[in-house]
Structure formats: C-alpha cells, structure tokens
Structure 1
Amino acid sequence: MFNSKHYIVGDQNVSVPAHLNFGKYILDKLRLKKDEVALANGETGDKLTYKNLTQYAVNLAVSLIKLGVTVGDIVAVGSEKRNEFVPTMLGIVFAGATYTPYDLRCGRAILKHKMSITKPKYYICSNLFWNTYKDVLMAFDCVKVFITLDDSIESLISLKSLTTNNNANVDLFEPVKVQGQTDVAFILYSSGTTGMPKGVQLTHLNCILNSLPHDFSDDSLKSVFVFGEWFHNYDTFMTYKVLAMGKKIVYINKASPEIFLQACEDEQVNIAMVVPSLVVYLSKTDDFEKFNLDSFMFIYSRSSPLHSKTIENVKKRLPKLKNILQGYGMTECGEPTSENWGTKGPKPGSVGMVSPGTTIKIVDPETRKILGPNQRGEICLRGPVFMKGYIGVDPSTYLDEEGFFKTGDLGYYDEDTYFYIVDRMKEIICYDGYKIAPLELETILQLHLGVKEAGVVGKPVPYFGEVPAAFVVRQPGSNVTEEELKSYVAAEVAPFMQLKGGIRFIEELPRNTRGKILRRSLREMLQES
C-alpha cells in the first residue's frame, strides 16, 4: 500500500505503442530505412541492408504461417552468428510465435536441458548446428518440423525453398496480433553461473521496453559493434535498440581481440558493446596501436564491474574516446541500471542510476530490512520490464512479499542514487566473520601488468570458514610469480582479504558464453588440486 522512502524509482513516464506487439514495433522502425546497411559481418565483409533484412523477415513470417505456425508455438533457432540470424528471429515473432535460441557451443547436456524446458515445435538451424547436435535434436519428439538456413540436407526443409516464391508486400504486411502483456515473444535463458539455466519468458511488452532507444540516439553515432552472441539478453536487445535507431550493427564470430579491432577500423565503429575482459585487454596491450580507432566514441561494458584505473588507462590510450560506460543487466529484467541515466555523469565503479520504469530496493540478506544509502545488501527490483516468469518455477521462490525480484546480487547505492555491484551473494567468501567479494580481488589482480585474467574463490579452512584463493592467467611473456602477486594484493587490501589460499597459474579461465567466470569450476579445480 505504501512505498518505502528507500525505494529508488526510475522515470515512470515511459512511452510504448498502444498495440504492445513487439513484432509490429520493430517492423515499423525497419520500414523507415531502405538501402542503409543494417548488419555487417566484420570478418567476412558480408552486409545486409535494412530493405533486404525486412523483406527476409516478412517472407519467413508468411512461410511459417503457411506451415501452421501460430501464437503460442515455440520456434527454436540454433546457429552460428550470420546475417540471417537476426531476420530469422524477427520472422518468428512477426508470425506471432515464441522465439527461443540455442547456442552452438553450449554442449550436449545444456542443449538437452534447454530443449526439455521449452519443447519447441519447430526448429530452424544451420547445417553446422545440425551436424553437431543431430542425435540430440532427433531424440525430441516435440519437434514436428526441422528447417535449415542452408541448402537442404537429410530430413531438413530448406528455408530458401520455403521462401523462394514469397515476395510479400512489406508495406502492407502486419505481424500477427498478440496480447502484449501476456503472450511470450522470447524465451531466453538465465546465465547458469550457479546451476543449470532456467527458461526466462519475456512478453511482447517486456521486449519493447528492453528495446526502446533511449540512449545512444545521437545521429552522429552511425555504427555499433555488438561483441556477444544473439542468444544473450544483452546482445539481443542492444541489437534491437540499434535497429530501432536505424544504425549499422557490426559483429564477428570469432571472439578475438585482433579481429575485433580490425572490424572496428574497417567499419568505422562509433560504439563498442563489449565484455569487461576486452576492456581490460585494451588497458594493457599495445596491439591496438596498429589499428586506427579514431572513430571510437563510446565503449559500453556489462557483466562485471570495471576498476576505475582500468577505465583511466583505456581513456589515456584512446584520447578521442568520449567515455566508457557501464551497466547492470540480467536476462530476467533487461538493464535495471545504466550510466546512460546518470544525471551527474559517470562515477568511478558505478553502474549508473535506475533505468526508466524500474524500482529498486536494497535489503539486508538476513533480516530483509530495507536499507539506505551506502549500505550493502541484496538488490531487489520490480517493474513492467520484469519477465513473465521462469518456466516451471514457482514465483514464490524468486519474488519477495512485495513482488520484488530477489536478484541474488550484492550491491548498494550512494547519496546520489548511483548503484554499485559488489558480487553475487552466493560467491561471497566468509572468513572469520568478514565478507570478501571475489570481484574486488579480481579487479585488483587484473591491474597488475603481468596478469591477463584472474578468478577468485573461497578455499575452506578449519575454524575460520574460507580464505581467498586465486587462479591467474599470465600476460603473454610474463613470468610473474605467486609471491609477487600476493605482495601486490596485500599492499592494496585489508589483512583479512589477502590471498591466503594461494595462487594457481592456469592457461585459461573457465567462462560461460556471456564471459562470466564459472567459479564453481574453479572450486572444483581447487578441490582436485
């Protein structure tokens, strides 16, 4: 009945189209552009114009409707990144169906798990995806029709043959009508950092709110690089924001820093949507000096916080860069905070202010008392951008008594209501009554010139609980030692945060497809050693 004075509320005057149809919302935006480039593969140079993208999506929608696809049907897509991926997503939504993506690199166990959650009726995939997972796909009786993005093989229908005779009138086509507040447009998946992924149902209204181009709408910004995969919430909806603004999207398949830099030079990228590890790379390497990056205006990072020194170093190396911005996001509710909303400009270490339409509170993890400024607690949120729900999961397990989503993230806000992320609550190391955030130690380690990447977990010890232990990937050519790094960290932190669990040097950190460190894998490695 009453709000708390400690609720942090974003702008509630958010405008959305009355039809609440995500397909129609995007189609109306796409029609405004014709011969401008919509998608550019930074590796191959292949490009797709807005006109051709829109025609492809509409043709596919008409073909799917003729096949019998209707509202409520789940259509899956499994493919590597390619120009056809985005209009295939849109064609499914235009047909009124629910789109769900599967990652080519997810592995058999995760694919089986995701398919058992969503049970798709139609399956569109590349030949590469089919050849990789054919036996898994064929084992699911729920799939009635398999369609390939490539030339027809085995029992797959070629999408090209489906759409060959279609030349639908784009100007007259209307996406199938839906109930925008309840009908599910997308099923995406939680990150799976603490267990198997959950199916996240996003309604048409959720998708519209996630795609509103509030930020980066400056007409001088023409080209946007999207580093991640199109089965992630972040990369998917950043893509739709860019399309809604009529800008060019640049992407690559191989997540290599060198290929990224070459693509940014070739396509004159103005905004780079990247992961924190790539920003750390830019802060240390001299490789980028081989490339002309004068077009860079903004770097936008999300997944884990950046150290203020990392940001300073990149700015020094790229003097024409206007800013490095951070945001806090999740599959379940898009982007709850972003530095784009910061009324006083970016603040070191902050992920910005609360996004429009969202309400956030910080609560004590044990007492559930609502906390005020500069008090660390669990981040909880609610608002119309929040998902319809997890498939097959009781809402009482993730919502509190006020209907707020319990994110499991530890954070706080300051006097200006700028938010700061500390870590996942489940990852917090408890030592002799002290709480230690692995992220804080990882960012300090990554500032060392001899460290490429670092991951920190708790090592169980008698009586005291856990002590921090680190896994470190050295920079190429570096011979930094365990004692050097222990001393380096000890000079920066309180005694209880020192790396008493030791340091292990490894070739590569285990990460999920979103770039987040899989600390459960590190804990397993710690037990094995």
Structure 2
Amino acid sequence: MSGIIYGDQNIFLPSHGNYGRYVLDNILKFKDKVALINGASDEITTFGELAQKAVNLTSYLKEQGVKQNDVVAVCSENRTEYMVTVIAVFSSGATLACINNAYSDDEMAHSLDIAKPKYIILSPEAQEKYSKIVKSVKSIEKIIVFENKSKDADTINFDDIIKKNVDVNTYKHVDLKGGTALILYSSGTTGLAKGAKITHTNLITSAQQPLPSTRDLITIFVSPWSSTMGLICSLHEIVVGRTIAYLPRFNERQYLYAIQKYKIAILTIVPPVVVILCKSTIAKEYDISSVEIIYSGGAPLNMSVITELKSKYPHIKHVLQGYGMTEATGALTAESEDEYKEGSVGKIVTGNIMKIVDVETRKILGPGQTGEVCVKGAVQFDGYIGKDSKDEFDEDGFYKTGDIAYYDEDGYFYIVDRIKELIKYKAWQVPPSELEDLLLQHAAVKDAAVSARPDVLAGELPTAFIVKQPNANVTERDIVEFIDKKVSPWKKLRGGVIFVKEIPKTSSGKIIRRKLREMLPKLPASKL
C-alpha cells in the first residue's frame, strides 16, 4: 500500500442539496424514539418532537425573510433548543455560525465580526454575559433568547416563535445549489479564531462515515456543540436514530450519575475525560457497568492510559480513537468495534483522500514513513471566511494539516507530532502567538514566548517564558492574572511563568520553540 489513500467515495448526495432536510428525512423514521436526554434536568425529547420544533423554527425564519447566505449565530451551552436551532437553520438555507459560550469578550466580538450574523440565538446565560457586545454589532437585526425571562425589549422569546405547528410531512424546504451551511471556528498560530466554511455537501458526506458501533446503543456527549467534535459527532448519531444523552458542561459526579441512570454504553469524549475516569475516586459509587465502548478524539490518547482504563473497568470492551479537524468536517480516520488497532487512530473514512508527504521535499511517502498529513475530498472545507486560504493548500488541492503521522501496511494511521505550534489543552486549541501578543502588552515585559508544558490530565499546559524589562518588579502571579482577564479559560497560563534572560530565536527572529521545550525540565514553574 503506497501513494494516495482513498476513503469510500461512493457517497449519496440528495438532489435538494440541503443538509437540514437530509437530517429531517432521516429522523422522521424514528418519530416516537427518544432522541435527546438532558442528563442534568432529565428532560426527554423524541425524534418527532425534535423534527417538529426544527420545522417550526425554519418556518419562522423564512417568514422573517431569512435566506441563503444570511448568517444566524448561536451561542449557548448544550441544550435541546441548541440542536433544534442547528437543524432549523440548515433547513432554512441560511448559514449557521456556532460561537463558543466560553469566549472572552474580545474573542466574542472577533467571532461576530467574522460571521456578521443577521440573527443571533442565545441561552439566558450567554445573553447576560455578552449582551453589550451583541447589541453593538450592526449586522444583528434580531436577538432571540432561549427561555427568555428578561425584561429586555430588544430580545425575542424562543419559545414564542416555535409554537406554531407546521406540518413536517408537507413543509417545503429550501433546495440548494451549494453554499456555506456552517461556520466553525478553528484557531491558528497567527492569532484569533478563523471561521472555517463548511458546506452542505461536506456535512451530508460526513454523516455517511462509519460510527464506533452499528448497534443501537445509547451514547453521552459533554463536548460543547460549538466544537467540531461535539457538533459533527452528535449530528451523525442523530441522523442514524441513536439516542443521545448530553450535559451542558462536564461535572464528574453528574456525568457518572447520568451513565448509571440511562445505562450509557458509548462514551464519546476527549482524552482528559478518559484520564479523569482512570483517576476517579468516586466512580466506585456508581454503577457504570453498562459502558462498553469509549470513543476518544480531539488529541491522541496514550497507550498507558488505555491499558489503565481497561484494567480499572473490565466491562469496557473497546477504547477507540479517531483523528480529525474542523477543516475536514470532523473525522479523517476512525476506528470502530469491528475494525481497530489499539494505539492507532484508525483507517481513512468516507469522503477523504489522504497522502503523507515529506515535510521538506513534498514527496509522497509510503507505509511506515513519517511525514505531513494532507487531505482533500468531499469533506474538505471551503476555506476561511474573509481570508485568503490559498497558502493552506498544495498545488494538487490537498489541505496541509500540519500534523505529522504515518500509516502501516494495513492502512491504520498513527499520529506522531505536529508541525503547527498549537498547544492542545484538554482538546482546545491555544495559539501561542495570541498569548505572546497579550504578554507583550504588559509594561514590565520586554520579550515573551509561549510553549506547552506536558501534563497527564490536560495534555498540554500553556507556559510563558518572560524576559523582564530592566529593573521591572513583576511576579509570576502578576503575569498570570494579567492574562486571566483577557482570555478564555483554556488559554490561561496553567503551566506557569518562567523568567529567562533571553528568548531563543533564529537569525530571522522566529522563536525556536524546540529550545523552549528543552528548558522546561530545568526551569520548573512555581505552583499555581
């Protein structure tokens, strides 16, 4: 096996081209079956109810004049109304922008500036947090709030606009000829988030990729639906009629209780949650023997963690992994209970075409040879909104992922490292350059660099190397608190601050991050 690797290219694309309609056509086959369970409140929604509410919202949006290429943003914790909104916006032909409800004010403003939404739909929590920013965005015409109990005259109650029941069987959906369905935010090393444009074809193709199991098992999600893993994987499960339990955010005790109560069989989680289960001192208080499969993605999972997990929980039959990214609408490779090799991230999946190339020569490599992963195909995104993306692709149209990997003779892929300098904290992407720019704004900082401190639980911790201004009196705590006020929780300097005499750089001024990593064991940060 050598050269270019092809996933299944036999893809069903409906003539209407509308992913929202594709979802509805599928879930209406399971009308009375439970679709969503809110593990925090025990609220249950059937597939029929989900479809009805989605069509009601689609009807409202169209009555208001929302059309293809208009952007509707949603910012909320995981909740049933979020998924109703997702399906409805797709069905209307408009573009959905999913904005993380943990963003700092600056990140929120930047994300809205990229997307320029006409409407924004918020949870009460997000509405309270971002009200001033949202109202300052000129493109926004309507603000809709879930469970709206505020007295703000500028907001619309979500529950009021979905009361009108529209016939789901005869409702005329919008037929599409291409176009952006979704804007997902993907951080890069050059600054704030980039808005990746995901098409209806991308999403329909992704929905036909294999699942960890074809059996009718209940799964649970805690990854936010503003993230690629959370949203794309959840939609995939919904399309095939699988019952999903979810939590608004991760809480160990609540998570274990939900597994016990709903007899969850599949955990779809990021590696830090796997580690929490390994180290849990309270898991023994709950009966989680229903769990058979763990499907992990977002970052590579160490083999020692897999071994420890299966030893502690002998009822877990499979610990499966996948490898993906926003720019590929989710998965590039994946394992299933019928096809896996422990330690790998699986084989190439439907809609992908991949190659491994030498980082320097760009020559295509064969099995066992380590190089950069490049991908194209029906799931490849349509570039970044408002940004020239030509440098992201090679001359043959392959997206250059920046990840280093190899595949074996059987076609299983193994992630080795990455060229890109993103720090992965609990599967969140942290661009070092963004933190460096902020650090340099501090009056006492002469020069700064940020690198990753390895951590068993979180994967990597953002760690700052600081050169002080002459005679400056600044402490580690001062720097940490300065950054805390400016960034999202996952971007905080949890690896600490290390004061150095100089930042290692090349002759052209680029930071030599390899040397920073070499300095870490010699210069431990103080405890925070």
TM-score (norm 2): 0.80
Q: Distance in 1 between matches of 2:465 and 2:377?
A: 38
Q: Distance in 1 between matches of 2:263 and 2:311?
A: 20
> For residues 256-295 of structure 1, what are the alpha-carbon distances to aligned partners after superposition, in whole Å with 9 as ceiling and x for unaligned?
2222111111111111110101111222333211111111
Equivalence for 1:169: 167
Equivalence for 1:501: 522
Is 1:187 aligned to 2:183, yes or no? yes
Identity over the aligned pairs, expressed in percent?
35
Q: Secondary structure at the match of 1:503?
A: coil
The change in CA–CA distance for 1:326 and 1:285 in structure 2 (over 3 A counts) is: same
Equivalence for 2:443: none
Task: Report how many residues are paired.
Answer: 453
Quick check: 1:399–1:405 contact (8 Å CA) kept in 2? yes
Q: Distance in 2 between matches of 1:261 and 1:54?
A: 29
Q: Secondary structure at the match of 2:345?
A: coil
Say which of 102, 107, 113 aligns to 2:110: 113
Say which of 327, 350, 357 aligns to 2:322: 327
Equivalence for 2:334: 338
Q: Distance in 2 between matches of 1:95 and 1:383?
A: 26
Q: Distance in 2 between matches of 1:88 and 1:292?
A: 34
Q: Distance in 1 between matches of 2:462 and 2:190?
A: 15
Aligned AA (2:298)? S
Structure 1: state its 5+ residue gaps: 430-437, 462-469, 474-495, 508-529
Equivalence for 2:366: 372
Q: Distance in 1 between matches of 2:67 and 2:462?
A: 47
Equivalence for 2:84: 87
Shift of residue 324, structure 1, vs aligned partner: 0.5
> For residues 495-526 of structure 1, what are the alpha-carbon distances to aligned partners after superposition, in whole Å with 9 as ceiling and x for unaligned?
x979643333645xxxxxxxxxxxxxxxxxxx
Query: What is the 5 A alignment of 1:15-414?
Result: 15-151=12-148, 153-164=152-163, 166-179=164-177, 182-192=178-188, 195-212=191-208, 214-216=210-212, 218-221=214-217, 223-333=218-328, 334-340=330-336, 343=339, 345-348=340-343, 350-414=344-408
Q: Secondary structure at the match of 1:219?
A: coil
Q: Distance in 2 between matches of 1:417 and 1:503?
A: 41
Q: Distance in 2 between matches of 1:12 and 1:158?
A: 44
The change in CA–CA distance for 1:396 and 1:254 in structure 2 (over 3 A counts) is: closer
Q: Secondary structure at the match of 2:336?
A: helix
> For residues 198-226 of structure 1, what are the alpha-carbon distances to aligned partners after superposition, in whole Å with 9 as ceiling and x for unaligned?
111111111111222632453341x1111
Aligned AA (1:286)? T
Q: Distance in 2 between matches of 1:457 and 1:207?
A: 36
Q: Distance in 1 between matches of 2:87 and 2:23?
A: 8
Q: Secondary structure at the match of 2:191?
A: coil
Q: Distance in 2 between matches of 1:99 and 1:273?
A: 24
The change in CA–CA distance for 1:98 and 1:454 in structure 2 (over 3 A counts) is: closer
Aligned AA (1:19)? H
Shift of residue 173, structure 1, vs aligned partner: 1.5
Runs of 4+ in structure 1 displaced over 6 angstroms?
A: 456-461, 470-473
Shift of residue 426, structure 1, vs aligned partner: 3.2
Q: Distance in 2 between matches of 1:281 and 1:313?
A: 12
Q: Distance in 2 between matches of 1:375 and 1:428?
A: 23
Shift of residue 251, structure 1, vs aligned partner: 1.0
Q: Distance in 1 between matches of 2:397 and 2:459?
A: 38
Q: Distance in 1 between matches of 2:6 and 2:518?
A: 34
> For residues 153-211 of structure 1, what are the alpha-carbon distances to aligned partners after superposition, in whole Å with 9 as ceiling and x for unaligned?
321122222233x11111111321111xx211111111456631111111111111122
Quick check: 2:121–2:146 contact (8 Å CA) kept in 1? yes
Aligned AA (1:188)? L
Shift of residue 11, structure 1, vs aligned partner: 2.1
Q: Distance in 2 between matches of 1:506 and 1:460?
A: 17
> For residues 411-436 of structure 1, what are the alpha-carbon distances to aligned partners after superposition, in whole Å with 9 as ceiling and x for unaligned?
2222322111122213399xxxxxxx
The change in CA–CA distance for 1:428 and 1:20 in structure 2 (over 3 A counts) is: closer
Q: Secondary structure at the match of 1:110?
A: helix
Query: What is the 5 A alignment of 1:504-523?
Result: 504=525, 506-507=527-528
Aligned AA (1:43)? A
> For residues 448-488 of structure 1, what are the alpha-carbon distances to aligned partners after superposition, in whole Å with 9 as ceiling and x for unaligned?
xxx77654879799xxxxxxxx9779xxxxxxxxxxxxxxx
> For residues 34-53 of structure 1, what are the alpha-carbon distances to aligned partners after superposition, in whole Å with 9 as ceiling and x for unaligned?
22211111111112121211
Equivalence for 2:430: none
Quick check: 1:92–1:99 contact (8 Å CA) kept in 2? yes
The change in CA–CA distance for 1:311 and 1:254 in structure 2 (over 3 A counts) is: same
Quick check: 2:234–2:244 contact (8 Å CA) kept in 1? yes
